[in-house]
Structure 1
Amino acid sequence: LGPYPGLLAQGKELLGTLPIALLLLLLCGLDWALYSVFDTIRQHSFQQYSFRSSHKLEVKVGGDSMLARLLRKTIGALNTSSDTVVESNNLPCLPQPVCMDARAYWRASLPIVLLVCLCLAQAFGYRLRRVIAAFYFPKREKKRVLFLYNDLLRKRAAFTKLRRALIIRRAQQQRGPRHHLVDTLHHRCPLLRRWLRRRCVVCQAPETPESYVCPTPECEAVYCQSCWNDMKKLCPVCTPREELSSSAYSDSNDDLKYAE
């Protein structure tokens, strides 16, 4: 991400949304767990009660006298009978959880999705800002483009020098004398030859029969076939720098013409 500061800023913005997304995920998981617990309590704690009672009150007064007849008329009104049936349950005391549907989860996660989309589209907003500034300040935009172009050329030349120095250092390491134990293992253990073979000084690929070995006695650098073709069949280790073609190895003076 070093050469691309826009991607680096975009990555930081996305990392900033990660805690919010994790918090939302935690809350959704907690909501589902609480719903499961309360629903289990509601299903297994339900109880229903039934109460039945009946009574009959009857007062009998015997006799044919006037007092007996008076008492029968007066106390007879107290004769009652009733049957009572009462049914009840603990449903009002139990929790009544409501599960969130898919639409509710989508509404909860919609702000996070919009935030991620804004982070991804942030680079386009920066580009639009540059286009607007270039429209009103064209000279300033020209200076900016020239500065970036020249800076790219300088970095390209520096990278080419470092890459050529790395290839030369690898070639020098290959020319160095190997330990006699390594040579013995290379000749007597065919299974270990794969790890004891020399490698391409450019891509570090193991040496194969198709690999090219520089015929210069003091060089003998190893190149795989693809790297040798990419180098336009010029060895950067033993070839003078001024003889390297810019198309083969981009460190010639033709590539260092800065714009003004």
Structure 2
Amino acid sequence: MDAIKAPVINHILCVSMRFHFLCDIMRVMKPWCREDIPVEGNFGQTFDKLNFSIDALSREFSTNVVLQEEEQQSVFGVSALREDFTESLSKAFEETKVIMDQFLGLIQLLLSCTFITIFTSAFGYARQYTQDVRFDNIYITTYFRQIDARRKRADKRYLLPLKKAERGLFINPRSLSIHPSELKLVMASLLQVVSLAVFVCVLLAVDMVLHHIFDIIRRHTFTKFSLTSSHHIDINVGGQSMMAKLLRKTIGAFNTSSNLDMQSSNQHCLPQPRALTKEDYLWSFVPLLMMALMCCLQVYSNRLRRVIAAFYFPKVLSGVLSRLERLGCRLRWCCVCGERQRGDRAVECTVPGCQAAYCPQCWRDLGRICYACVPTSTWDPIESCSDTDMYYVH
């Protein structure tokens, strides 16, 4: 109590130390502890050795980890780290994208200017139509039929109906058949469509080959990884002594059990090809078929150009049709050999309404007889072959 100067605290702490009867109680409990709680004689030494072993064991399990990082300074010729390489790659992609966008914009600008060709083509057609009377002057129009009928009523030389040899030089706008002169334009257009179709077929074939190759790679390079492991530690310490119980409490912490089952594959690294569907093939060939159809319909749309030009230039139409009528009447074809004959050289039948024309040689070979208007019942092969009897048609 003299060591602690605080008046209340020294009584609380020191009064309990004055109870001497507690020592007598400890003397009574000591024999009971020796009988009921046996302790080995070398318990202290064993306890010290155990503490030393635990300290040594903890020191044996100590590790020092040394990490060494290597920086790769050259990746595909780029002196940069991973972040720098990613940044440079992204920048290269952005620059390429900008160039492609500019190129596509230029292509769209050029395609948007193609409508100018419509005006230039129309202007060129109108200029040739008004300046050249022979330009595109091969159509048998309604006005032409009226002129020919008027010449027929006036007992002048007329052209219609056309002979078989004459049909190849004139076009009937109302006819659905394609004229040989128009067939050249159709074949040239179809040739372009066929070349484009061949190109599309080659692209589709390449797509099928690439899909087949990637599908083979996907099916035959698929790898599945399966990692399974089991870790089980069970340390059993026998005995009921204090040391055995202490060891069970200490070493029992090492009893662990773990199971590892990990499934992985390279599925995300493999190509995933997708084949074109029937709709994709259909949408690839339908435009080609539409282009081929438009090539055929272009013939009939070209016939409308003359109708439109005649509507805006009626005076030019009169001169054009008059020249066509004169040209048709001046050019005749031999009914036998089909040779073209001008009006002054052709020999024409004088029977009214016949209008058959012959070249001089065929007329002599026929014995100066027009078989186009003479009835077949009056033919006499023997007499027609005679050198003395000649029949003339007046």
Q: Distance in 2 between matches of 1:150 and 1:94?
A: 78
RMSD: 3.4
Q: 1:71 to 1:148 in 2, by over 3 A?
A: farther
Q: 1:152 to 1:58 in 2, by over 3 A?
A: farther
Q: Partner of 2:305 in structure 1?
A: 129
Q: Partner of 1:119 in structure 2?
A: 295
Q: Distance in 1 between matches of 2:373 and 2:198?
A: 51
Q: Distance in 2 between matches of 1:150 and 1:245?
A: 27
Q: Partner of 2:280 in structure 1?
A: 104
Give the TM-score normalised by the residue count of structure 2: 0.39
* Partner amino acid, structure 2, of 1:44: H
Q: 1:73 to 1:237 in 2, by over 3 A?
A: farther
Q: Partner of 2:260 in structure 1?
A: 84
| Unmatched segments (≥5 aa) in structure 2 | 1-167, 170-179, 340-357, 375-394
Q: Partner of 1:30 in structure 2?
A: 206
SS of 2:226's partner is strand
Could you list the per-position Cα deviations for residues 56-112 of structure 1 after superposition, in whole angstroms to 9, with x for gaps in the alignment? 123344565656544533442331112222233333333221111111111122322
Quick one: which of 51, 58, 71 aligns to 2:227? 51
SS of 1:127's partner is helix
Q: Partner of 1:238 in structure 2?
A: 365
Q: Which moved more, 1:84-93 or 1:68-77?
A: 68-77
Q: What are the within-5 Å matches in structure 2 for residues 55-204 of structure 1?
A: 55-61=231-237, 69-155=245-331, 157=332, 159-160=333-334, 163=337
Q: Distance in 1 between matches of 2:338 and 2:364?
A: 8
Q: 1:137 to 1:57 in 2, by over 3 A?
A: same
Q: Distance in 2 between matches of 1:93 and 1:63?
A: 58
Q: Distance in 2 between matches of 1:128 and 1:54?
A: 88
* Partner amino acid, structure 2, of 1:160: C
Q: Distance in 1 between matches of 2:366 and 2:287?
A: 61
Percent identical among aligned pairs is: 36
Q: 1:148 to 1:34 in 2, by over 3 A?
A: farther
Q: Distance in 2 between matches of 1:137 and 1:245?
A: 44
Q: 1:140 to 1:79 in 2, by over 3 A?
A: same
Q: Partner of 1:186 in structure 2?
A: none
Q: Partner of 1:188 in structure 2?
A: none
Q: Which moved more, 1:136-145 or 1:113-122?
A: 136-145
Q: Distance in 1 between matches of 2:305 and 2:366?
A: 48
- Flag the structure with more relative contact order, 1 or 2, with Cα contacts below 8 A and sequence separation at least 6: 1
Q: Distance in 1 between matches of 2:276 and 2:258?
A: 49
Give the TM-score normalised by the residue count of structure 1: 0.56
Q: 1:153 to 1:16 in 2, by over 3 A?
A: farther
Q: Distance in 2 between matches of 1:148 and 1:112?
A: 39
- 1:25 Cα offset (Å): 0.9
Could you list the per-position Cα deviations for residues 123-157 of structure 1 after superposition, in whole angstroms to 9, with x for gaps in the alignment? 121122222222222222232233334434455x2
- 1:12 Cα offset (Å): 0.9
Q: Distance in 1 between matches of 2:373 and 2:226?
A: 98
Q: Distance in 2 between matches of 1:116 and 1:99?
A: 27
- 1:247 Cα offset (Å): 5.6
Q: 1:237 to 1:88 in 2, by over 3 A?
A: farther
Q: 1:153 to 1:102 in 2, by over 3 A?
A: farther
Q: Partner of 2:192 in structure 1?
A: 16
- Structure with bigger gyration radius: 2
Q: 1:142 to 1:101 in 2, by over 3 A?
A: same
SS of 2:365's partner is coil
Q: Report if the CA contact (8 A) 1:164-1:236 is conserved.
A: no
Q: Distance in 1 between matches of 2:190 and 2:267?
A: 48
Q: Distance in 2 between matches of 1:40 and 1:152?
A: 71
| Unmatched segments (≥5 aa) in structure 1 | 166-230, 249-260
Q: Report if the CA contact (8 A) 1:61-1:71 is conserved.
A: yes
Q: Partner of 1:226 in structure 2?
A: none
Q: What are the within-5 Å matches in structure 2 for residues 221-260 of structure 1?
A: 236-239=363-366, 244=370
SS of 1:40's partner is helix
Q: Distance in 2 between matches of 1:245 and 1:151?
A: 26
Q: Distance in 2 between matches of 1:42 and 1:33?
A: 14
Q: Partner of 2:348 in structure 1?
A: none
